[in-house]
């Protein structure tokens, strides 16, 4: 049972829970950025570049072949087109740059808060340890 309890303890550590939360939030954030890139950012860029839809940018290596149908039966199956979809790749690069920029901004803000926390001097509240010991000594003398 040592292995199971060790594994349970590993899973319940704060870092693992935080990591799982970050992965879930990151996945959702990735979808938001993908939608922003595909639906908001790329259409105006495509319009500026001459009404180009980046999703359709590709280099066709081999044309597709439609199926051959005789008497309602498919004699020769269809062959899919072989293409390099570089437009989708360009959109993915935009996604990556936007996500990287957002992470950079979050880390910069986090670093600023850490620097502010370090800059604030900690003032002791109440008597120091030495003062408490002196008070205890004086009470014991009485």
HEC sequence for the chain: CHHHHHHHHHHCCHHHHHHHHHHHHHHHHHHHHHHHHHHHHHHHHHHHCCCCCHHHCCEEEECCECCEEECCEEEECCECCEEECHHHHHHHHHHHHHHHHHHHHHHHHHHHHHHHHHHCCCCCCCCCHHHHHHHHHHHHHC
Question: What are the pLDDT digits (tens) for 11-26?
Answer: 777 677 778 888 888 8
pLDDT-based confidence at residue 140 (cuts at 50, 70, 90): very high
Question: What are the pLDDT digits (tens) for 28-62?
Answer: 888 888 888 888 887 888 788 787 777 778 898 88
Question: What are the pLDDT digits (tens) for 69-93?
Answer: 888 787 777 888 888 988 888 888 8
Query: pTM of the predicted model, to two decimals?
Result: 0.52
């Amino acid at each position: 049972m040592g292995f199971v309890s060790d594994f349970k303890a590993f899973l319940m550590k704060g870092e693992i829970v935080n990591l799982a939360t970050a992965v879930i939030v990151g996945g959702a954030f990735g979808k938001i950025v993908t939608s922003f890139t595909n639906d908001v950012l790329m259409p105006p860029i495509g319009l500026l570049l001459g009404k180009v839809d980046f999703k359709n940018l590709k280099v066709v290596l081999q044309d597709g072949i439609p199926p051959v149908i005789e008497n309602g039966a498919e004699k020769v199956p269809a062959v899919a087109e072989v293409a390099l979809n570089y437009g989708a790749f360009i959109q993915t690069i935009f996604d990556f740059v936007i996500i990287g920029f957002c992470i950079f901004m979050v880390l910069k803000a986090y670093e600023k808060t850490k620097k502010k926390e370090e800059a604030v001097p900690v003032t002791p509240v109440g008597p120091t340890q030495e003062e408490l010991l002196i008070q205890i000594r004086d009470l014991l003398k009485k």
